[in-house]
Amino acid sequence: METRCILSSELLYQYLVTVAEKLESRGANDLANKIIFASKFASGSTSELFGEAKLALVNLMNKHNNVLSQEEVAEVNKIISQIDSEFLRVGNRQLRVFNIHINSNYYACPFIVNDEGFCHSFFGR
């Protein structure tokens, strides 16, 4: 069953700010800074905000090291699913984040995949 996206840019922004505050209060400042960076795209286009948010949240899932409770992990995964649903609903595209492991570090690399399977870097970084 497809998850209907209930996120607006404003709700996603508020969610990111709340997650960043929780991370900071738990001493996970590096993770919080990445979430804060994503939240700054709220003044841009929706696709930029949602793309940066997904990248930051996937990074959080890779590196949270039990900073988040099981309930919070489930909530982050739900938000990631809603972002995916919105990309499919609006543009018939998937925003995939591939995790690459280099020298004991994980890097989240975003790509957009269209309905023909064409894949290209989302951020050009």
What amino acid is encoded at 2 in this protein?
Answer: E
pLDDT at 50: 86
pLDDT truncated to tens, each residue of the chain (125 aa)? 344 445 788 899 999 999 999 999 999 999 999 999 999 988 887 878 888 898 899 889 988 888 999 999 999 999 998 888 877 766 555 555 555 555 666 555 555 554 554 444 444 43
Using CB atoms within 10 A of its CB, is residue 78 exposed (0-12), middle (13-18) or buried (19+)?
exposed
The residue extents of the domains of the chain are: 9-91
What is the rounded CA–CA span in Å between residue 99 and residue 106?
Answer: 6
Which residue matches tokens 């001493």?
27
Q: Would you say the pTM of this structure is higher than 0.75?
A: no
